[in-house]
Structure 1
Amino acid sequence: MKVLKFGGTSVANPENINRVKKILLNQSEKKVAVVVSAFGGITDLLLKTSQLASNQDTTYKKGLGEIEEQHIIAIKELIPVKSQSAILSKVKSDLNVLETLLEGAFSIGELTPKLSDKIVSYGELLSSFIICEFLKSEGLDATFKDSRQLIITDNAYGKANVDFNKTNQLCNDYFKANQHQTIVLPGFVASSNSGDTTTLGRGGSDYTAAIIAASQNGDVLEIWTDVSGMFTANPKLVKQAKSVSHISYEEAMELSHFGAKVLYPPTIQPVLNKEIPIIIKNTFKPEDIGTHITKNTNGNGKTVRGISHVANISLLSLEGPGMIGIPGISKRFFETLSLENISVVLITQASSEHSICIGISDEDVDKAVKAINDAFAYEISNNKIKPVIVETDLAIVALVGDNMKSHQGLSGKMFSTLGKNNVNIRAIAQGASERNISAVIKKADVKKALNSLHEEFFEENIKQLNLFVMGVGNVGAKFLDQIAQQRKYLKEELKLNLRVIGISNSRTMAFNENGIDLEDWKTILANGKKADKDVFFKTVESLNYRNSVFVDNTASEEVSQSYPNYLKNSISVVTCNKIACSSDYTYYQELKKLAKQYNSPFLFETNVGAGLPIIDTLKHLIASGDKINKIQAVLSGSLNFVFNNFNDSVTFHDVVKQAQEEGYTEPDPTIDLSGIDVMRKILILARESGNQLDIEQIENESFLPKESLETNSNEAFFTSLKDHESSFQKLFKEAQDAESKLKYVAQFENGKAKVGLQKIPKGHDFYNLEGSDNIVLFYTERYPNQPMIIKGAGAGAEVTASGIFADIIRIGNF
């Protein structure tokens, strides 16, 4: 005999019930038991309605009306008109009894567990009767059997315990005598030895089907639901989750216990000993293979088979010096919980015996705290044990797999992955079988944790980076274009999946949790909401994505002051904004410290030399044990462009204007021409070399007239350049007469730094520097006479964007 169970979504409405009929018509077995749940949403509605009635809230009648309406509609849509009368009469009779029960709850102002079970049982009783009558009307050889006449339990209302001896005998007698091909039974419901209605717990319809399958040594138990089997993770939270084609009973039990909703945890036990296969199938895609659950045939195959979680968990800790070396403390602790019918989900105890920590459902916290504090009142009053410590708003994430014990380092890999994404672990549990590794985390971190772990263990090492980009002007726009262009290459060759989740300019900002369409980002941003850097950060924080990266393409001091917020939340920061790293030394130190403390990379390669690997090379020199003795550099691509193009046939004003228009200068060109930009760059290199220096300590030999430096707008600045053209021409002539070229040079040596315009003679490394190129000479202990030279394009939106892109890839490879 085959047993099929159809869940609430499978029988949610007449359309879905017709799908069930088609599945049953394709069954070739001589005898099929069909266990059905209540119509979709009815169980929740029954619970809500009964609660309202017990609170003496008359609106419970509205809920009763909705319940009646849903069943009457189903009958009228499923059953031929000529056959409706008797069925409507039976259903209305049952609904009248339900109404009487609800009136009773209303009258006494109380809902006892016994009464609750009677009320909630009507969901399955009504659905199974209607579905059976529908199948009969469609020509199937079907009959209805009330499961309460087959499954006998104790009086633990709400989640009764099955008396398998009596149940198996009743099932054997019934199915042996029954000659119909299809037997329809209500799931979830049973009866006590005294004949009262009991229930098997939420999700108990699976359990009903398993009990019947085990009693008849069934060929197979099929669980029909709305997904194609058990997944590597919850597909509603992890979009990349995949269906698992085959797992063992033990793996399925662990996954179902830890939140895999497609299977009620107790379901497996009745069929496990008899090795009856369980197949989880999709009512809406019956052709899908689904998940086959049998004894372990995985051998030495995959280690982690699934990642699951339990939400709404609280931790209770009992601790104190009075626990050390005292026998029986654990017994009293767990016995107290048992007497209160409180299920313990997780247990951990320190070897010092100073504390015991357990995880329980949030709904049991108040009851548990009172019971434990009462049980240990004497020890608490004598300060031997502290009152119970409670932590709420938690969840459990768990790795599950039969073969995990055969592979070293899985725990470390799990915890490392969570740590990298700022997921704090509050408690850990790992059984001796090593089939399950569990960690308690904040409930708010569940989605990020599941996605991070799934990426690590299931996604062929493809790492997803979630980018939040502030500043989409010249550099930012080029950066977004480069991502769009290279996305396929990155995924195929570097195993990196880049998604831009948020973008902002000075006016508007926009977010898309699934990634912004980079083909249309300008339109999306134009239609976004008002820009606000604080709201931007709070949105990034609330989304709480794994591998998040904040990209700052602005020149804003205000934005640079927000970096600590990101780093403290383990959100990496990539920036071409030089202000943060050239600001007060203590702030620079703080950022570097936060990056280490929270394992959140802080990368700013483009601060010096745009796309040139200057800072990265410097870091490698220092890391390898070399020491920097002197740095000489031309670090301003904009100033190099200006002086390479300035001569006696063109005005200084026109050359600077051209540099600004072509994107070689900052939006405010005085930052470049005053030398401030170069001072910041040499300061950053000095600091990255291990030196403590502030910008006020750098000597600046400015070539600009005082009047130009003191202007307060771009318009006034350019006017001043026209006014002082003669002084600029004088500088050019002096260099020409000396057969030299003008270069704005930065130098650091013996703890001192200076910047200024210099006449560079022929033969010098700087003399033939073209266009907007940068050059850096590193004189080190290993390169004392012939310096290490880094040379290339050091300005422009395209190369700066590529430098930012390179930093993003570095983070992807961390």
Structure 2
Amino acid sequence: MHVLKFGGTSVGSVENITKVIQILEDYKKSQPVICVVSAVGGITDKLLKAGHLAQTKDESYLSEYKTIKDIHLNILSRLIPNVDKAVLDKLNTKLDNLKSLLDGIYLINELSPKTSDKLVSFGELLSSYIITETMKSKGIDVVRKNTQELIITNDNFTKAEVNYNTTYKNIQEYFSNSTQGVTILPGFVSKSQQGEITTLGRGGSDFTAALVASALEADTLEIWTDVSGMYTANPKLVKQAYPIKKLSYQEAMELSHFGAKVLYPPTVQPVLDKNIPIVIKNTMEPDADGTYIAHEQTNNLTVRGISNINDISLLTLEGSGMVGIPGFSKRLFEVLANYKINVVFITQASSEHSICFGVNKADANQAKEKIDQAFEYEITQHKINPIVIETDLSIVALIGDNMKSHQGISGKMFSTLGKNNINVRAIAQGASEKNISAVISEHDVKKALNTLHEVFFEVKTKQLNVFITGVGNVGERLVEQIKQQKKYLKDNLKINLRVIGLSNSRQMVFDEDGISLKNWKAVLSTGETASLEGFFKTAKAMNLRNSIFVDVTANKDVANLYANYLKESIAVVACNKIACSDTFDKYNQLKYLSRKYNAPFLFETNVGAGLPVIDTLNNLIASGDKVTSIQAVLSGSLNFVFNNFNDTTKFHDVVKQAQAEGYTEPDPRIDLSGVDVARKILILARESGTVMELEDITNDSFLTKANLESDSVDDFYKTLIDDDAHFQKLFAQADEKGSKLKYVAEFNEGKAKVGLKEIPQGHPFYNLEGKDNIVMFYTQRYKEQPMIIKGAGAGADVTASGLFADIIRIGND
């Protein structure tokens, strides 16, 4: 005997009902089939809505009724185009009975639990009738049996308790004489011992099927729904989630309790007692394996699934008067039980100073009111505090039978949440260790589920979600490098790098699934108007795990937003030097926020473009070394200029060439004034542990007064022509000594300076070619011979590669 149950989605449309009938035909070829059906998808809610409208004297209940009627008549007419008049009349009679009930509710303004059960029972009675008559019209050997004649309960309306002895006897007697190939049963509905209509509560159709399977000791119970089994996480929130092939009964109950809606927890008990396996199947994909649920241990996997419950409020009873006093917990939970308030989460510290518990948010205010009343004396005596409510929370849970035999699961769970700035408000873990639950903000649920799923279920692949502001010269190269290396990163470094947001000075665009980099320029050109604040707010609202903000600008306003990103645990990668060369307090604050919110703040390209200057310095400091002095040529643009300037060239022309080739800022005064180099040595000094401000650095400028006081870039270039003799003189003086001009940054004994120097032959700086940079670190370990880092220090490609390296560094963290 096959026992199958089909949910509301499975019978929610003509197309799906047709699939259900095909499945039943296939099954009955081997042995008789019992099919339990839910109401047509959404009808139960519509029935309740119509009832509440009628109760409040709102005549729009008639419109709601008409919608319900039209849905059923439309389904019948499409399933049986030439429907027999008797069949149609019988359906209309059932619908007329529904209207009469609604009219009665309207007249007497009453919708008691008893009446509510009568009202919602129409859903299953109507759907089961339509499906049965459709199968009969196709010549299938089928009968419909009203389960109200089989399942007997008490009179606890809306959630009736089953009389198992009578119910099992009724089911066994009926099916012992049944000869039909298919028997259709309406789920959810039942009758009391006094003959009143009752219902089995939420998930009652599953329960109906389980009762039938248990009474008849079926080989399996199949629950057919719109997904291919129970998933490792909610597939609507976690796209990487996949069906779990096997689960134990306990694991299935834990997952279903925590929001896996394909199975209702009480369903498990009747079949668990008889050791009858449950199979979760997909009506839309009948050939998919689904999930097999049974007693036996499934395998050695630790975490079997991740689930969640939303709409949770956390209530805390706290006070020193609770310590060592027996009975507080009993009194607390008796109050909740008396008012039928279900507790879904409990935790109490061993100090006994507080008890924390979670309830549905709809019950929170009533729970507080009743508990405060019950403990009024203790509250007035200041022995305990009034109940405190926290709202907009969710519970996220790891489920698995084998978690108890594996160390570190809890630590892994909470460290993963912490790294993504997901604050845990409360924790519960039973001694059985089948479930580890954490209460978090509802806003963080999607990020939490994806983060945990990545850690516990995916093949060591870490997803990075990147938001890039400034896709000009360097930014464009960065995007192209990401595009080129995306597959390599995934295959070799197990990093799934997705560009989620892009912005230039005009437009910005976002895609939570990742922007296609094949035509990203065209996509960006159709984006919304760019806004620095809007870019931040969107990145924050998306709340994606492992988010990284990349600043490829030289904009002060962008730099001023770093703190906002870090506070949201969004990592910051910047080639923009403004933030780290601002006041020491601001620099220090960003470092502090990075530590506090576990959000990396990386700015390797602030000094030396793609050269590992800052990373090397940090490693020296971390290993216990101490920097005594730094000597460096830190401007690729200035090095390019002085390497190409001689007595046969004009200084103006060389600077123009450097700008044209992208080695200087759009305003070359930034480079030539020495401010850019001063910022770089300031950053290195600070990273060495020195408190220093930009104004503390001595800047020996080689520019003339006219150059420095120029009003615009064009005016600046004009002054370079006018003062060419000044620059020729600088070259001649150095050349006469056999030296070369290099713009040098120095840090020594807590002081720093920058300026043009004549470098003699034999010095490490002498043969520095093109746009190269060089940094020499003298430390306690490198006293005589410095540690030298040398290479290209300017250019779009190398700067982009430095930014890319910082992104990868975060991914490897």
Deviation per CA, 1:655-688: give whole Å up to 9, x if none.
1111112111122211110000000000000000
SS in 1 for 2:539: helix
| Mapping of residues 678-693 of structure 1, within 5 Å | 678-693=677-692
Pair 1:295-2:295 in alignment: yes
**717 and 157 in structure 1: CA distance in 2 versus 1, 3 angstrom threshold:** farther
Inter-partner Cα distance in structure 1 for 2:304 and 2:711: 64
SS in 2 for 1:498: strand
Pair 1:229-2:221 in alignment: no
SS in 1 for 2:175: helix
Deviation per CA, 1:571-626: give whole Å up to 9, x if none.
10000000100110000100001100111000000000000000000000011111
Inter-partner Cα distance in structure 2 for 1:507 and 1:350: 54
Deviation per CA, 1:632-671: give whole Å up to 9, x if none.
0000000001111111222111111111121111222111
**What is the CA distance between 1:262 and its match in structure 2?**
1.0
> Could you tell me which amino acid in structure 1 is paired with residue 142 of structure 2?
A
> Could you tell me which amino acid in structure 1 is paired with residue 164 of structure 2?
F
Pair 1:331-2:330 in alignment: yes
- Name stretches of at least 5 consecutive residues in structure 1 with no aligned partner: none
Pair 1:51-2:52 in alignment: yes
Residue of structure 2 in register with 1:650 after alignment: 649
Inter-partner Cα distance in structure 1 for 2:122 and 2:275: 32
Inter-partner Cα distance in structure 2 for 1:211 and 1:378: 48
| Mapping of residues 35-434 of structure 1, within 5 Å | 35-81=36-82, 83-299=83-299, 301-434=300-433
Deviation per CA, 1:251-310: give whole Å up to 9, x if none.
1110000000111121111111211111111111111111111113324x1000100000
Residue of structure 2 in register with 1:778 after alignment: 777
> Could you tell me which amino acid in structure 2 is paired with residue 548 of structure 1?
S
Residue of structure 2 in register with 1:484 after alignment: 483
Inter-partner Cα distance in structure 2 for 1:711 and 1:108: 88
Matched-pair contact (CA < 8 Å) for 1:75–1:84? no
**What is the CA distance between 1:52 and its match in structure 2?**
1.3
Inter-partner Cα distance in structure 2 for 1:110 and 1:524: 57
| Mapping of residues 551-570 of structure 1, within 5 Å | 551-570=550-569
SS in 1 for 2:254: helix
- Name stretches of at least 5 consecutive residues in structure 2 with no aligned partner: none
**194 and 381 in structure 1: CA distance in 2 versus 1, 3 angstrom threshold:** farther
SS in 1 for 2:625: coil
| Mapping of residues 441-590 of structure 1, within 5 Å | 441-590=440-589
> Could you tell me which amino acid in structure 2 is paired with residue 74 of structure 1?
I
Pair 1:752-2:754 in alignment: no
Matched-pair contact (CA < 8 Å) for 1:80–1:137? no
**What is the CA distance between 1:383 and its match in structure 2?**
2.1
| Mapping of residues 632-651 of structure 1, within 5 Å | 632-651=631-650
**What is the CA distance between 1:712 and its match in structure 2?**
3.0
**What is the CA distance between 1:381 and its match in structure 2?**
2.5
Matched-pair contact (CA < 8 Å) for 1:469–1:504? yes
Inter-partner Cα distance in structure 2 for 1:284 and 1:715: 69
Inter-partner Cα distance in structure 1 for 2:379 and 2:402: 44
Deviation per CA, 1:320-365: give whole Å up to 9, x if none.
2222222111111111111111111111011111111111111111
Inter-partner Cα distance in structure 2 for 1:711 and 1:169: 101
SS in 2 for 1:121: helix
**What is the CA distance between 1:431 and its match in structure 2?**
1.0
Inter-partner Cα distance in structure 2 for 1:47 and 1:564: 49
Pair 1:719-2:718 in alignment: yes
SS in 2 for 1:666: coil
Matched-pair contact (CA < 8 Å) for 1:209–1:221? yes
**681 and 151 in structure 1: CA distance in 2 versus 1, 3 angstrom threshold:** same
**What is the CA distance between 1:164 and its match in structure 2?**
1.2
Inter-partner Cα distance in structure 1 for 2:652 and 2:563: 40
**What is the CA distance between 1:720 and its match in structure 2?**
1.5
SS in 1 for 2:350: coil
> Could you tell me which amino acid in structure 2 is paired with residue 478 of structure 1?
R
Range with bigger deviation, 752-761 or 28-37: 28-37
> Could you tell me which amino acid in structure 1 is paired with residue 288 of structure 2?
D
SS in 1 for 2:117: helix
> Could you tell me which amino acid in structure 2 is paired with residue 38 of structure 1?
A
Inter-partner Cα distance in structure 1 for 2:810 and 2:31: 61
> Could you tell me which amino acid in structure 1 is paired with residue 277 of structure 2?
P
Tell me the TM-score normalised to structure 1 length.
Answer: 0.99
SS in 1 for 2:86: helix
SS in 1 for 2:582: coil
Range with bigger deviation, 492-501 or 709-718: 709-718
**What is the CA distance between 1:200 and its match in structure 2?**
1.7
**What is the CA distance between 1:173 and its match in structure 2?**
1.2
Matched-pair contact (CA < 8 Å) for 1:2–1:29? no
Inter-partner Cα distance in structure 1 for 2:708 and 2:108: 86
Inter-partner Cα distance in structure 2 for 1:136 and 1:644: 93
SS in 2 for 1:238: coil
Range with bigger deviation, 122-131 or 86-95: 86-95
SS in 1 for 2:70: helix
Range with bigger deviation, 99-108 or 549-558: 99-108
Inter-partner Cα distance in structure 2 for 1:88 and 1:4: 27
Range with bigger deviation, 176-185 or 543-552: 176-185
**What is the CA distance between 1:137 and its match in structure 2?**
1.4
**What is the CA distance between 1:36 and its match in structure 2?**
0.6
SS in 2 for 1:26: helix
SS in 1 for 2:65: helix
Matched-pair contact (CA < 8 Å) for 1:153–1:192? yes
SS in 2 for 1:356: strand
Matched-pair contact (CA < 8 Å) for 1:187–1:205? yes
**What is the CA distance between 1:212 and its match in structure 2?**
0.8
Matched-pair contact (CA < 8 Å) for 1:78–1:134? yes
Inter-partner Cα distance in structure 2 for 1:649 and 1:47: 91
Range with bigger deviation, 106-115 or 64-73: 106-115
Inter-partner Cα distance in structure 2 for 1:668 and 1:713: 9
Range with bigger deviation, 545-554 or 176-185: 176-185
**What is the CA distance between 1:104 and its match in structure 2?**
2.0
Residue of structure 1 in register with 2:621 after alignment: 622
Range with bigger deviation, 131-140 or 795-804: 131-140
Matched-pair contact (CA < 8 Å) for 1:567–1:594? yes
SS in 2 for 1:260: coil
> Could you tell me which amino acid in structure 2 is paired with residue 63 of structure 1?
E
**What is the CA distance between 1:67 and its match in structure 2?**
0.4
Matched-pair contact (CA < 8 Å) for 1:160–1:200? yes
> Could you tell me which amino acid in structure 1 is paired with residue 433 of structure 2?
E
**What is the CA distance between 1:79 and its match in structure 2?**
2.1
Deviation per CA, 1:62-95: give whole Å up to 9, x if none.
11001000111111111252x4311211111111
> Could you tell me which amino acid in structure 2 is paired with residue 247 of structure 1?
L
Inter-partner Cα distance in structure 2 for 1:727 and 1:662: 25
Number of aligned pairs? 812
**What is the CA distance between 1:219 and its match in structure 2?**
0.9
Tell me the percent identity.
Answer: 62
Inter-partner Cα distance in structure 1 for 2:719 and 2:151: 96
Deviation per CA, 1:18-53: give whole Å up to 9, x if none.
101111111134221100111122112112111111
Inter-partner Cα distance in structure 1 for 2:665 and 2:248: 62
Inter-partner Cα distance in structure 1 for 2:773 and 2:46: 71
Inter-partner Cα distance in structure 2 for 1:441 and 1:727: 67
Deviation per CA, 1:459-487: give whole Å up to 9, x if none.
11100000011110111100000000000
**What is the CA distance between 1:5 and its match in structure 2?**
0.6
Inter-partner Cα distance in structure 2 for 1:643 and 1:195: 101
